[in-house]
Amino acid sequence: MKNKELFKKITDYIKINHLLSRNDRLIISFSGGPDSVFLLEFLKQYLHKPCEQLILVYFDHGLRPEETGQERAFVRNTGKNLKIKTITKLIPVKLYAEKYSCSIETAARNIRRSMLRHYSKIYGITYIVTGHNLDDVTETFFQRIYRGVKSNLGSIEPESPLCKNTLLIRPLLNIEKKEITTFLNKNKIAFMLDSSNTKNIYTRNIIRNQISPVIEGINPSYRNNVNSLLEYLKEQKNYISQATGLIIKDIKFASEQISFNLNKFKSYHIYVQKSIIFEMLNILKNKISQEMNSNRRIDLPDYIFSSATVNEILNRVSVNNMKTNVTLSKNYLCTTKKEEIIFKKKEVPAQDKPYIYTIKKIPAVIRINESSLTVKLSIITNSQDSFISDNRQAFLNYDLMKGHAITIRNRKEGDYFIPYGCDYKVKIKKYFINKKINIRLRNNLPLFFCQNHLAWVLGNQISDLFKINKGVKNILKIEIVDR
């Protein structure tokens, strides 16, 4: 195919899908690879003033240090030669993946999208363009089949929202990869190659390098056939959405819950029931995403609802067994109440107000109003064989405390101590969980500190730091005198 014919094919696709005008300002997610280089070549002739309308953004994922130096230089030189503003950014992909227990691919995608959103706001640009092509569409199709996805098999749309007032535009989805590489090689246009694309360490690479060649050997036009199937499924989905649209509109929204009439729900076909649940879960997913990412520059991984969750809800509703709730996420659950199926926030005990008591002189008797109990502190000498702490009293090494105030307060985020007999730190939150201390008691349970070290969790263990060793002369006795 000649250059003009190829570019016309893309231009027609842009017009049909109403993607871009020739005067739009754009950010190109520019890797320096064949797809983004080809995209740049196209936009150079498509836009009226490309050097003024374009910004190139390159992301170094920190995964290929032996190659990315050359890539950065290539990207900068490309921008410099064309007098186009160019940004290169190192992003912490491995760190993100480890911190949030997600795949390298998910980590890279989330950070890239978050940073592109950031740059779009800084430069006031509405459109971000990427070099996704027809090969990416078919690879995503097979990837989703292997994952058991039953809807949205295509997923890559010519246009999709990145955030408010910013769109991701993919103008090359009707172009095959081989058309791109043929064009670049024919016109002797340089591009970079990512060596990780040849390694079968990611599912997409396995599909690209091992499965696609086999299918192409059977039918060289299979990508267009897959695309036709996806267009048909899209039309089918749109028709069903229209048919169920009035039903979906019966979903009710409130600040803390999403609900649907249970009797109506049961009267519908199983497919419509699933559609209602999927729509409710999608609303909830967006709500969770907003809550997680409201004050973040880099988005957290999306919360994924499994088909098992949908099936469990359906099964419970069909047999009228919602005595126990279905957990949807850390903070949300599904239940039924007054003839409604409800997705709502879990009821979490309100965080009690922080309190603190400071004791500078001992002996002392302190009333802890928040826990409705009184404790007595006294100093005794080490004149007996053993001192055994229990749930009503504690014996601590006062030689280490002498001259320092004793403070009593409730827990704070990050509190920890070394339990008696241990040589490691334990966070108080984890300690409470392990000890199965009632969640309603945890926030007000008195903790005794000296020099910012936790000495005793009232009613539980003392800290190993303040245990009584041989040679200790003075001992602090803390006892509960009434409740």
User: What does the domain layout of the chain look like in residue ranges?
Assistant: 3-229, 250-345, 356-482
The enclosing H or E element of 258 equals strand 257-261
Query: What distances in angstroms separate CA 115 from CA 26, 276, 326, one per listed residue?
Result: 15, 34, 35
Lowest mean pLDDT among 77-91, 282-296, 376-390: 282-296
The domain defined by 3-229 carries CATH number 3.40.50.620:
yes
pLDDT digits (tens, 9 = 90+) for 234-280: 888 888 888 888 888 899 988 778 999 988 998 999 988 988 988 88
> Residue 167: beta bridge partners?
127, 161
CA 352/CA 78 separation, integer angstroms: 58
CA 400/CA 469 separation, integer angstroms: 11
pTM exceeding the 0.75 threshold for the entire prediction = no
Instruction: Give residue 202's Cα distance to chain centre.
Output: 20
The three state secondary structure string of 32-95 is CCHHHHHHHHHHHHHCCCHHHHEEEEEEECCCCHHHHHHHHHHHHHHHHHHCCEEEEEECCHHH
Mean pLDDT of 372-398: 87
Residue 261 burial class via C-beta count within 10 angstroms: exposed 0-12, middle 13-18, buried 19 and up: middle
Q: What is the pLDDT of residue 160?
A: 93
Q: What is the pLDDT of residue 36?
A: 97
> Residue 135: beta bridge partners?
none
Q: What is the pLDDT of residue 19?
A: 96
CA 421/CA 469 separation, integer angstroms: 12
Residue 140, pLDDT above cutoff 60: yes
pLDDT band at 474 (very low <50, low <70, confident <90, very high): very high
pLDDT digits (tens, 9 = 90+) for 215-239: 999 999 999 999 999 889 888 888 8
Q: What is the pLDDT of residue 327?
A: 82
Tell me whether domains 3-229 and 250-345 share a fold: no
pLDDT band at 154 (very low <50, low <70, confident <90, very high): low
* β-strand pairing of 326-327 with 54-60: unpaired
Q: What is the pLDDT of residue 237?
A: 84
Lowest mean pLDDT among 33-47, 127-141, 286-300: 286-300
Higher pLDDT, 143 or 85: 85
Q: Where does 336-398 have alpha helices with state H?
A: none
Mean pLDDT of 129-149: 90
The domain defined by 250-345 carries CATH number 3.30.465:
yes
Q: Which fold has domain 356-482?
A: Phenylalanyl-tRNA Synthetase; Chain B, domain 3 (3.50.40)
Q: Where does 249-318 have alpha helices with state H?
A: 262-267, 270-293, 307-318
Say what percent of the chain tops pLDDT 70: 95
